[in-house]
Amino acid sequence: HTAAAAAFPTEMVDLRVLGFWLPTLLGSFICATAIFGHLALKFRRVALVLLHLFLAIVQLMWQLELGKVMQQVAVSEPLALAEAGSSPDLKANLQHAMFEVPYETFTQAYTTLRCRVSERLPKSHAEPVRMECEGDS
């Protein structure tokens, strides 16, 4: 009974949970699929090709299921408008809510650790921006 409850939750997943875990899991899964694809091309081993094929199939199925879940979340989750006066476009509201949680987490850490941007700014977009923090990281 407990395993069935864990596998099939009755509650809808909160948008803040999806906003944190979804980019993390999806990004790491995409990187793993790409690494095994690269290794399969480099070493030409059947096991690596089959592993890459399996991960690619899982990723495609995950994308399909993710689309269904995002539709359910978009319908069931009450979202505030991204900007005052903007049209109530559901897709724009969903995109705003998905990036709101990581931004709030970053600004909270930036404030808590008393960080500041270093005086030397990068010369191009490829260089990282250096930050110095006083608190523990």
CA 112 vs CA 16, 39, 130, 136: distances in Å: 21, 42, 17, 9
Q: What is the mean pLDDT of residues 42-66?
A: 92
With the C-alpha atoms ordered 26, 29, 34, 35, is the resulting torsion angle positive or negative? Answer: positive
| CB under 8 A, 24+ apart: contacts of 30-38 | 30/59, 33/59
Burial bucket for residue 11 (CB in 10 Å: 0-12, 13-18, 19+): exposed
Give me the amino acid identity at 69: V
Q: Which residues touch 80 (CB under 8 Å, ≥6 apart)?
A: 93
Question: Is residue 46 very low, low, confident or very high in pLDDT (cuts 50, 70, 90)?
Answer: very high
- Token code pair at residue 92: 């724009």
Q: What is the mean pLDDT of the chain?
A: 77
| pLDDT above 80: residue 118 | no
What is the percentage of the chain residues whose pLDDT exceeds 90? 23
| Cα–Cα distance, 58 to 107 (Å, whole number) | 34
Rounded to a whole number of angstroms, the CA Rg of the chain reads: 20
- Looking at residue 136, its pLDDT comes to 61
Question: Is residue 128 very low, low, confident or very high in pLDDT (cuts 50, 70, 90)?
Answer: confident
- Looking at residue 43, its pLDDT comes to 94
**Whole-structure pTM value:** 0.45
